[in-house]
Amino acid sequence: MSPIVLMSTPMTSVSALAPASPVVTAAGTSASAFPWLTLIGAIPLLGALLLFALPGRAQVGRALALGFSLLAFVVSVVAATRFDPGSTAQFQLGERLEWIPQFGVSYSLGVDGMGIAMIVMSTIIVPVCVLAGWHDVPEGGRRRNVYFAWMLLLEAMIIGVFASTDVFLFYVFFEAMLVPVYFLIGSYGGPQRHAAATKFLLVSLAGGLVMLAAVIGVYVLGPGGPDGFLVERLTGLSFDPLVERLLFVGFFLAFAIKAPMWPVHTWLPQAASQATPATSTLLVGILDKVGTFGMIRFCLQMFPEASRWATPVVIVLALVSIVFGAAVAIGQDDMLRLIAYTSISHFGFIVLGIFAFTHVAGAGSVLYMVNHGFSTAAMFLMAGMLAQRRGSVRISDYGGWQRVTPVLAGCFLVTGLATLSLPGMGSFVSEFLVMLGTFQRYPWAAAVSSLGIILAAIYILLWYQRVMTGPKPEGLERVPDLTGREKWVMAPLIAAFLVLGFYPAPVLDVINPSVSSTLQHAGVTEPRPTNPAPAGAMNGSAK
Residues 249, 461, 476, 479: which binds other proteins (CB under 8 A)?
461
Provide, rounded to whole angstroms, the least separation between the CB of residue 405 and other proteins. Answer: 13
Provide, rounded to whole angstroms, the least separation between the CB of residue 476 and other proteins. Answer: 14
The string of DSSP codes covering 52-119 is: HHS-TT-TTHHHHHHHHHHHHHHHHHHHHHH--TT-SSSEEEEEEEEEEGGGTEEEEEEE-HHHHHHH
Residues 359, 373, 490, 522: which binds other proteins (CB under 8 A)?
359
Residues 119, 157, 203, 211: which binds other proteins (CB under 8 A)?
203
Provide, rounded to whole angstroms, the least separation between the CB of residue 112 and other proteins. Answer: 15
Picking from 290, 275, 298, 408, the residue whose alpha carbon sits closest to that of residue 347 is: 290
How far, in Å, CA of 134 to CA of 56, rounded? 15
User: Where in 437-456 is the site for other proteins (CB under 8 A)?
Assistant: 437, 439-440, 443, 446-447, 450-451, 453-454
Query: Count residues contacting other proteins (CB under 8 A)?
Result: 80
User: Where in 382-401 is the site for other proteins (CB under 8 A)?
Assistant: 400
SS3 assignment for 145-157: HHHHHHHHHHHHH
Starting at the edge strand found earlier in the chain, the sheet holding 105-111 runs 29-31, 91-100, 105-111
How far, in Å, CA of 500 to CA of 199, rounded? 35
Nearer to other proteins, 123 or 358 (CB): 358
Provide, rounded to whole angstroms, the least separation between the CB of residue 461 and other proteins. Answer: 5
User: Where in 326-345 is the site for other proteins (CB under 8 A)?
Assistant: 327-328, 330-332
Nearer to other proteins, 51 or 344 (CB): 344
Residues 457, 479, 487, 492: which binds other proteins (CB under 8 A)?
457
Q: Is 364 in the site for other proteins (CB under 8 A)?
A: yes
Identity of the residue numbered 60: V
Q: Yes or no: say if 270 and 197 are a contact pair by the CB < 8 Å rule.
A: no
Provide, rounded to whole angstroms, the least separation between the CB of residue 331 and other proteins. Answer: 4
Q: Yes or no: say if 229 and 219 are a contact pair by the CB < 8 Å rule.
A: yes
Could you tell me where the DSSP H helices lie in 295-392?
301-302, 304-330, 335-355, 359-390
Provide, rounded to whole angstroms, the least separation between the CB of residue 534 and other proteins. Answer: 5
Nearer to other proteins, 180 or 364 (CB): 364
Q: Is 492 in the site for other proteins (CB under 8 A)?
A: no
User: Where in 401-440 is the site for other proteins (CB under 8 A)?
Assistant: 402-403, 410, 417, 422-424, 428-429, 432-433, 435-437, 439-440
Residues 3, 191, 471, 484: which binds other proteins (CB under 8 A)?
471
Provide, rounded to whole angstroms, the least separation between the CB of residue 176 and other proteins. Answer: 24
User: Where in 163-202 is the site for other proteins (CB under 8 A)?
Assistant: 199, 202
Q: Yes or no: say if 78 and 330 are a contact pair by the CB < 8 Å rule.
A: no
Q: Is 52 in the site for other proteins (CB under 8 A)?
A: no
Picking from 243, 155, 245, 142, the residue whose alpha carbon sits closest to that of residue 188 is: 142
Number of H helices, E strands in the chain: 21, 3
Length of the chain: 543
Provide, rounded to whole angstroms, the least separation between the CB of residue 23 and other proteins. Answer: 19
Residue 31 pairs in a beta bridge with 94
Each residue 254-293 as x (binds other proteins by CB under 8 A) or -, in order, gives: --------xxxxxx--x-----------------------
Each residue 501-540 as x (binds other proteins by CB under 8 A) or -, in order, gives: -xxxx--xx--x--xx---------xxxxxxxxx--xxxx
Buried b (16+ CB within 10 A) or exposed e, 360-383: bbbbbbbbbbbbbbbbbbbbbbbb
Residues 135, 472, 495, 499: which binds other proteins (CB under 8 A)?
472
